[in-house]
Amino acid sequence: MSYIPFCREDMRTLKAAKDVTIKNMKIDYLVKKIYGEALRFAETNEGTLYKFSLAVPYNIGHITVPSNAVSNFLPALISTITIENVIEYLDDILAGLKVLFPECLVKHTQDVEHTQDGFIVIDWS
């Protein structure tokens, strides 16, 4: 069996590196989810505005982090994406969606009547 050596500095930064990998995977998952839902909406509706609700409480999925995402030493990790993740990563999610919908308005809006957290809005009008 072959082992990978880890020096002190690698050991010190292992958790931080894993946390960054998990964060990036969650952001990627959320961007892909919203992207897919917006495209499905555009294909099946005449409207030109898609709203992704940030209503609580809900979980929108599970992701698996491959064991080799940071190093071959880390075990696989399953993490639930929560509304807190969506709020925490909102700027990164919006940035990713703006790249995927370059000529559209992509923003976060508050709608106090329906939800305190608001919506991610994609407008292609």
Q: What is the pLDDT of residues 18-58, one digit of tens each?
A: 889 888 888 888 899 899 999 999 999 999 999 998 875 44
Q: What is the per-residue pLDDT for 23?
A: 87
Rounded distance between C-alpha atoms, residue 9 and residue 23, angstroms: 21
Read off the pLDDT of residues 74-87 as tens digits, 9 standing for 90 and up: 333 335 677 777 88
Q: What is the per-residue pLDDT for 25?
A: 84
Q: What is the per-residue pLDDT for 115?
A: 55
Partners of 61 in beta bridges? 81
Amino acid (one-letter) located at 116: Q
Mean pLDDT of 93-119: 87
Q: What is the per-residue pLDDT for 122?
A: 97
Taking a C-beta distance cutoff of 8 angstroms, is the pair 50, 42 a contact?
yes
Amino acid (one-letter) located at 48: T
Taking a C-beta distance cutoff of 8 angstroms, is the pair 87, 30 a contact?
no
Q: What is the per-residue pLDDT for 95?
A: 98
